[in-house]
Amino acid sequence: MDANSLYANYRSWQRFQRQEQLGREHQAALRKLADTGAMASRVTEAYRSMADRAAKEGASYRTLFQRQRDNGDNLACEGWLFVRRVLAEGGTTRIRATLFETFTLEEGDITPSAESPKKVTLDIYDELLVQKTMKLGCRTDRQDDERDTRFITFLDSVRGDLRQYL
């Protein structure tokens, strides 16, 4: 095996390792959110706080989400979310934001650039969780692309250097 193909195999292995790690982290965050019993109103307030900090300081927040592939698989993706505004319209809460994707299985690590931001609209709503018991939970899905679902945005992972690309 020549050095180029060996290096390419190593890079592929690293990408799959990162994919596995993100998948585990996303599942753990979903479980934690379900265990806390967070309702849509509480999550909405967190997004309002993110929007306020984004306007004042240019803050973007780390987010994990699932993307459904053509074959039906759901794989975790990573990005940074710049929350522009939170809208409450007739019982529905929508988040207008800009998403900077930073990892997908297909592309690997993605460096933010002026071409990379995507404007997204997220819906926040309560859902009934049926596992061992029935309880209410909260879910955040992308409204303008049904392949992207189950967004988890972390309040403690913040960066302020992405505003330059907006």
Burial class (CB within 10 angstroms; exposed 0-12, middle 13-18, buried 19+) of 121: middle
pLDDT at 108 over 90: yes
pLDDT at residue number 129:
61
- Residue 128's beta-bridge partner residues? 136
118-130 and 108-109 strand pairing: unpaired
pLDDT at residue number 130:
62
DSSP tag of 128 = E
> In terms of pLDDT, which residue wins out, 127 or 24?
24
The tally of CA atoms less than 13 A away on the side-chain side of residue 128 is 3
Q: Is the pTM of this model over 0.85?
A: yes
Domain ranges of the chain: 3-165
Residues 28-79 pLDDT 10s: 999 898 888 788 888 999 999 999 999 999 999 999 999 999 998 999 999 9
Residue 2 three-state SS: coil
Contact by Cβ (8 Å): 127, 134: no
